[in-house]
Amino acid sequence: MRERFIPPIIMLLAGLVTCIINIVNQVELVTSLQRLLVVLLIFYLIGIIIKIIIVKTIISKMSDTEEEKSEESTEEMTEEEQQPVQ
């Protein structure tokens, strides 16, 4: 559920950096706002791509872990079946 915050955080950090650079360079207001809009849109899209990659990675690791657990339980069952009941 926390992955939904990834794109806005990336976008806002990029916007903050852009605003600071524009203030330091004393850029005009309209030019500054145009740059900010472009930066926000680009980094929001980048954030969405990063979120998708992270979610797919987490899902694949979870499925790998589940497969390992099922293999271990299967091995334990076969070992128990091989031992004679006394």
The encoded tokens of residue 76 equal 């334990």
Residue 39 lies in a domain: yes
Burial of 5 (0-12, 13-18, 19+ CB in 10 A): exposed
Note the Cα 20 to chain centre separation in Å: 26
Q: Which of 57, 43, 42, 40 is nearest to 3 (CA)?
A: 57
Give the residue-averaged pLDDT of 38-44. 97
Work out the end-to-end distance of the chain between its first and last CA atoms, rounded to an integer number of angstroms: 51
Q: Is residue 83 part of a domain?
A: no
User: What is the share, in percent, of the chain residues with pLDDT greater than 90?
Assistant: 62
pLDDT for 70: 75
Domain limits for position 25: 2-64
pLDDT of residue 61: 87
pLDDT of residue 62: 87
Tell me what the mean pLDDT of segment 3-32 comes to: 95
68 has a pLDDT exceeding 90: no
Could you tell me if residue 75 is inside a domain? no
- Other C-beta atoms lying within 10 Å of the C-beta of residue 6: 16
pLDDT over 80 at 83, yes or no: no
Tell me how many domains the chain contains.
Answer: 1
